[in-house]
Structure 1
Amino acid sequence: MADRSVTIVGAGLAGSEAALRLSRAGVAVDLYEMRPAKLTPAHRSGRFAELVCSNSLGSGELTSGKGLLKEELRILGSALLPIAEASRVPAGKALAVDREEFGRRVTEAVRSRPDIRVHEEEVKEIPGDPLVILACGPLASDAIASAIRDILGDDGFYFYDAISPIVDAETIDPEASFVGDRYGVGTGDYLNLPMDRGRYEAFLSALLTAKTVALRAFEEPRYFEGCMPVEEIARRGPDTLLFGPLRPVGLRDPRTGRIPHAVVQLRKENAAGTMYNLVGFQTRLTYPEQKRVFSLIPGLSSAGYFRYGSVHRNSFLDARRHLHPWMESRSRAGLFFAGQITGVEGYVESIASGLVAAVSAVLRSAGKDPRPFPRESMIGALMERITTPGPDRAQPMNANFGLLPDGTVRRKRDRKERKAEVALAAARRAAEWDGAMGASKGG
């Protein structure tokens, strides 16, 4: 007889998505979460699906990788995307959320399901139950991380994910800023702090000479390009920031009519607009140095910080050797992984991996074999990418159109038109797959 219960370790984005998906499919869940009794270096509460880096889930446009991934998740009945929509704050074309509201809503949704039993305790060993989803996150406790290494037979890999500072909106000088979105698209959701060449060069000099937090003996920085600390970007050359987080393209200052030499963008952290995130300013600078260096940015000379930037180790396994595309262990049937620990990079990508693991576990619980999502879909292409063996060192991967197979649709001259057609084809493929699999979304 097929087992009709699943044990999930971790109530982050992936674990919460998986738990709700399984519950809606009529599968009982035992969900283990060590917080708030034991916090990670980055988490601050016991709320499920707590966001610890940015509050943005990325672009909502279908012609972006993350936008297409969101559309596929909607088609497939994601539980967390509607919650994110209900918790959103203005951010132009991006889906950004009020962190506390989002975490509260996810926690309530999970705890309200009678067939999800929540256990507030740390799991130190991999459960021996027939069906298990390890969604313990890239900041897994030392005990469970050691247990995972033991079952994998090696030390795996890790990278560093830096957190951007959050400033008090009332302490930002409004005279030094202008409101606007890049290329004028959006509803004025970003606060822009322009710099002339002199201010930029002074800031760059201070940034390059600032003190950073020393790495511990066991730590080796292997940064993911999409979350590179701002000081590491600056070390690559004097103009690299101008093509990265400080790029001024599409941001014309309405007060001068000109595009500044450099622009620092701030994005709302909550619906009330009392907090702003320094976009792209992930950092390893010490707290005093952050206050000193960032005070050189126009408008932030007297800024008060709700949270300084910090860095933490994010561990992830080599999915190319250890996982099938449906997120099941190659060495132990019934053991699934989900979230950033699998090597997906990003919030929406973590949600997607949780959905994939849950759908696969539903099939296993019914005595059926899981199978990959179609590689013509963004979900399938992403899962295939992180699980396909290759000669290079494993690296985290986010959703992007480069993952989709060549020849998905006929060639078009207009790049945006071509991406739109690719996106629609991928979304249709996801819908067809969902209908063919019959993996219940439940109610």
Structure 2
Amino acid sequence: MSDLVDRVKSVLPSVRADLGALVRIESVWADPARRDEVRRSAEMVSKLLSEAGFDDIRTVSEGGAPAVIARHPAPPGAPTVLLYAHHDVQPEGDVSQWASAPFEPTERDGRLYGRGTADDKAGIATHLAAIRAFEGDLPVGVTVFVEGEEESGSPSLGALLGAHRDLLSADVIVIADSMNWTTAVPSLTVSLRGLADCVVEVATLDHGLHSGMWGGVVPDAVSALVRLLASLHDDDGNVAVEGLHEGSAADVEYPPEQVREETGMLAGVTQIGTGSVAERLWAKPAITVIGIDTTPIATSSNTLIPTARAKVSMRVAPGGDAGRHLEALTRHLEQHAPWGARVTVTPGDLGQPYAIDATGPVYDAARTAFRQAWGTDAIDMGVGGSIPFIAEFAAAFPDAKILVTGVEDPATQAHSINESLDLGVLERAATSEALLLEALGALHR
């Protein structure tokens, strides 16, 4: 074990340099103007895997972003492990709010800042470090699958899995796109909420009216929309939509001060909902208004606005069905329209939740690898966010054991400004993965 750990340490400087080069590529698939950058990112991933000793490397696309599949054959009788990550990233948002340029990797106090440093180009770096540590003598078959549109909802993943099922088939799937309990305590993600969203439009008039002439008699669409959106929660902040699934969560300590510290809640702001923090984050539905279209303040006038729209995002607890939850949300919005306002709901994306039965020899090997690399036991945790493709992997490869790991921690701020990676976590995550590959080879022997 010590020799393998030392070899991981020895390759980390080169991996850190390659991660920096990847971060400098603005691989935002959601921005049509930067899709060539996504293609350039895929080319660099292919190059890195070729240099790591993979001969069978293919860049594939089924109508979406380019993905990279690289394969190293298994020794006779040994299992094949699929290592997943994604090379696309979220848009950077308001650049002025970043402490350093979002696409220039910058190290401060043991953390590497930049868009994609953690989510999920560090997943690629983790795989590279683990692979390089074996110096070409891998104890198992390894397939690396690096997707290019995860941050856009993986719309073509189903087609990719269907078209390249033989290439991607594996006994164990390691998905490096999740988080850890802290920078000192690792986690194995065993449940994820699903996702359903829609756009709701409220109309009260066929044209705008002078608010002085008709205000107080005729309802405006913005006020009607606000009242409709407010009906989605009760006074405690619990979701008030009927027919949604709720589950149960592990009994872990998550004190209020930790929530405030990790989220940046302002003084005086209180948490919403009832039940433990873990239940509310991992096992109960959540509804958030993530966008509103109406007249901007800068161009507003004394006018009753005739139409207004909002995008509503819902997280679905494991055990629930995203499609049925979207139907329930649609019914609620249609039935709670104030003042007879006309409501139109346009369905959006769906992603199913997923729960993992993390028992058996593969998961035991993973927990041992965590303990050896981190010096402490991993926590089985849920994640409030959604990774819908995990359910797609499970459906495509029902016999494979799925391990969801990652390099993020509560301070990472994935998707937000000043995203960062704890470099110590990267080392421990890479060491864990290398030890896991070695252990899976030993299980075979």
- Using the size of structure 1 for normalisation, the TM-score is 0.33
Of Structure 1 and Structure 2, which has the larger fraction of its residues in strand? 2
- Using the size of structure 2 for normalisation, the TM-score is 0.33
